[in-house]
Amino acid sequence: MMTSKHARFMLPLLILAAMMVVMPALPAFSQSTPTSEISTADADAGLTIFAERCANCHGPQGAGDGDMVDRLPAPPRPFNDPEYARQAIPAGMFQAITDGNLEKGMPPFGPSSTNAIAEADRWNLVAAVFALSASPDAIARGADLFAALDPGPDTAFITDPTFWRDNSNQTAFDRLQALLPNTPADDVWAMVDYGRATFSFNGVAPVVLVDGVITGQVLNGTTGNAAGDLPALLRAFNPADFTIGLVLTSTVNTDGSFQFDITQAPSDWVYMASVAYNDISFSSDIGRLGADEPSAALPITIYDPTTDASVISIDQLHIIMNVTATQLEVNELYTFSNNANQVYVGDSGDVNGGTVLIPLPPDAQNPAFQRGFGSLDSFVPANELFPTDAGWRDTLPLRPGPNSMNLLVRYTLPYDSGMTVAHSVPYDTTIPTIILPDSGVTLVGDWQSSGPQDFQGQTFVQYTGAPVNAGGSLSITLEGKPRSGGGAVAINSTTQILIGAGALVLVAGIAIIATQRARRNAPIEEPADREELLATLVALDDAYANGKISAADYQQERQQVKEELMAIWNSSDS
């Protein structure tokens, strides 16, 4: 399975303490009804995901004939083959989707992926694969046949959702045929298809309802004083799908304190408080209430605004270039810091007029932007930037502190046998780094090479440059043509190396690109990621409510953030 989208959003303090638009007072949502029913995998939902995320390799009908099949080491197996569906076991299929198989060209889609699919949706995909080889008519016929049997205890497994997780269709057929030796095989298979349609991935425990209180203190991080008389808002999220379960509003007291009383709320809900200050939204960490913990404190720090761009620095600038016979693809990964104790809101003082500036070469084509968060293993589209004469401007505030925001900038340039890529640099920048495939194209000028390095069968050369002062320029001169089969990587592969294959880390000037599997075994800062992603979700909701983002962009970004958040949450809880 491959995808053109790249996963996750952000630095919630990026988007939260740093994006922060005014939070409107939203009406309270009704609380969901507790349930103890077993959830059944949704094949229809899975087929939608299959079309979006899998069909480009596996084909629209799962026949292994997708548009990208020629780029794979081997064609994927045909899911619409009835024999495959008879032998496949859902638990194994789920694990294959989660872990991937890089040797066969399939990336993972579990929590370690940069474009993860939520756990429930991975099970929905499993159901979709079975649906590709079992028509609705066959399932309906099987239901009628099974009902006509007057089934007893021996055949009850056919409608037992828990049976289907760890058993194949063939196992079910053999068991049912032994009980019904005089029934035609086609009828037995129809009943198996019907039973398979009931398979379950999860049993939902009954929801425990709790009463509690959430308090907090608002501190102005610029002045060090308590901040009062501000509108406060509390959101409760259902961690099953991160829909909003409850919204409460209040006003911060003059001493900076606030309080929300919670009545009969599910104990698994998570809460985030926020306040609006100077038309910017600032949020707390996340908290929970439980029978043993009926209270939670959610302090919030706000900051005064600044229009002084000199407080910004670029602490990391990593560039990966990919050269083909006619085109140069440039990936520039920026890590911005705000060295003041104020939030940067742009030169005009209005974030809508632009904040952080990203200059591009004058002839840059197809510019695209993505936000990164955490350990740079997660990215989602950044559709808030807009073009100006000086370059592209973000519309999110830049929160105080180091590594406040990560932006990945991608663009292309026409290429023949050499060129110079140059653009201005508006902020003080530490040592920039370039990674170039060892394909016959070389970088010349005042750049220091650390020699070739291998990664997943490809050879790359890393170069480092001198620091650049604000107002200076970045200039990269390339010479030569990529040799045939000489190591140039496909556009998708460059993205996979930078984003999908792992996080780019610089240690002592050496680029280490950790693979998905290595990252999966490494410690994950889950609490920070949770808070950042949830803050991102809040910021997106606010931006959409205030008309600052289109419906299409909002739905796309929110879905990706939600999938990443659910993947982290489910992984941690398990």
pLDDT interval class at 24 (50, 70, 90): very low
Question: Would the pLDDT of 32 be above 50?
Answer: no
pLDDT tens for residues 109-155?
888 777 889 888 888 888 888 887 777 788 888 888 888 887 667 78
Mean pLDDT of the chain: 78
Residue 502 has pLDDT above 90, yes or no: no
Query: Which one, of 173, 187, 197, lies nearest residue 87 by Cα?
Result: 173
Most confident of the following: 57-71, 223-237, 476-490: 223-237
Assign residue 267 a region: left if phi > 0, alpha if psi is -120 to 50, beta otherwise? alpha
Higher pLDDT, 164 or 344: 344
| C-alpha neighbours within 13 Å on the C-beta side of residue 509 | 13
* Most confident region among 193-207, 334-348, 540-554 by mean pLDDT: 334-348
Number of C-beta neighbours around residue 389 at 10 A: 4
Query: What's the mean pLDDT in 299-321?
Result: 96
pLDDT at 210 over 80: yes
Q: What mean pLDDT do residues 402-416 have?
A: 94
Q: Which two tokens stand for residue 235?
A: 């959101």
CATH number listed for the domain at residues 310-512: 2.60.40
Note whether 8 and 564 are within 8 A (CB).
yes
Q: Tokens representing 190?
A: 């129809």
What are φ and ψ of residue 138, in 5° steps? -65, -40
pLDDT at 563 over 60: yes
373-389 pLDDT tens trace: 665 556 778 888 999 99
> Is 244 exposed, middle or buried (CB count within 10 Å of its CB: 0-12, 13-18, 19+)?
middle
Across the range 204-222, mean pLDDT stands at 82
> 3-state class of 120 per DSSP?
helix
What residue has token string 């073009």?
387
Domain parsing of the chain, residue ranges: 36-204, 310-512
Residue range 196-210: average pLDDT?
57
User: Per-residue b/e over 192-216, b at no fewer than 16 CB within 10 Å?
Assistant: bbbbbbbbbbbeeeebeebebebeb
Percent of the chain predicted with pLDDT > 90: 36
Contact status, residue 301 vs residue 308, Cβ threshold 8 Å:
no
Phi, psi dihedral angles at 261 (to 5 degrees): -95, 130
Do residues 494 and 500 lie in contact, with contact meaning Cβ atoms separated by under 8 Å?
Answer: no
What average pLDDT does the segment 184-212 reach?
73
Rounded to two decimals, the pTM is: 0.60
Report yes or no: 436 and 443 within 8 Å, Cβ to Cβ. yes
H/E stretch holding 414 reads: strand 401-414
Does the structure show a pLDDT above 90 at 10?
no
Choice between 137 and 281, residue whose per-residue pLDDT is larger: 281
- Asked whether the predicted pLDDT for residue 282 surpasses 90, the reply is yes
Token representation of residue 484: 């045939």
Tell me the two tokens of residue 120: 């429930």
The average pLDDT across 315-343 equals 94
pLDDT band at 439 (very low <50, low <70, confident <90, very high): confident
- How many C-beta neighbours within 10 Å does residue 176 have? 22
Distance, CA of 274 to CA of 300 (rounded, Å) = 7
Residues 328, 111: Cα–Cα separation, whole Å? 32
Is the predicted pLDDT of residue 157 greater than 60, yes or no?
yes
